[in-house]
Amino acid sequence: MSKYVLRCEECGTLWRPKVSYSLSDFQKLYHYCNVCKKNTFHEILSEDSAEVHTITDHS
């Protein structure tokens, strides 16, 4: 998984989603903003250089 830093273009809130696909081909993402309470465009600011791995123990 990769982790990115996105910013809502309406309120400026930063968001750090973990995604399983590359967002590097995109300039913006249309997504729900919890602050604006509506779908807004989010600018993709950067990608964290280290990959994020979630380990789940199913035993």
The whole-number pLDDT of residue 24 equals 84
Classify residue 28: in a domain, yes or no: yes
State how many domains the chain has.
Answer: 1
Q: What band does 52 get if pLDDT is binned at 50, 70 and 90?
A: very low
The whole-number pLDDT of residue 8 equals 95
Classify residue 14: in a domain, yes or no: yes
Q: Which two tokens stand for residue 9?
A: 């273009």
The pLDDT tens digits for 21-51 are 888 888 999 999 999 999 999 999 988 755 5
Q: What residues pair up with 29 in beta bridges, in sequence order?
A: 42
Classify residue 52: in a domain, yes or no: no
d(CA 8, CA 16): 11
Classify residue 32: in a domain, yes or no: yes
For residues 25 and 10, which has the higher predicted lDDT (pLDDT)?
A: 10
Domain that holds residue 8: 2-47
Classify residue 55: in a domain, yes or no: no
Q: Residue 54 in contact with residue 3, Cβ under 8 Å?
A: no
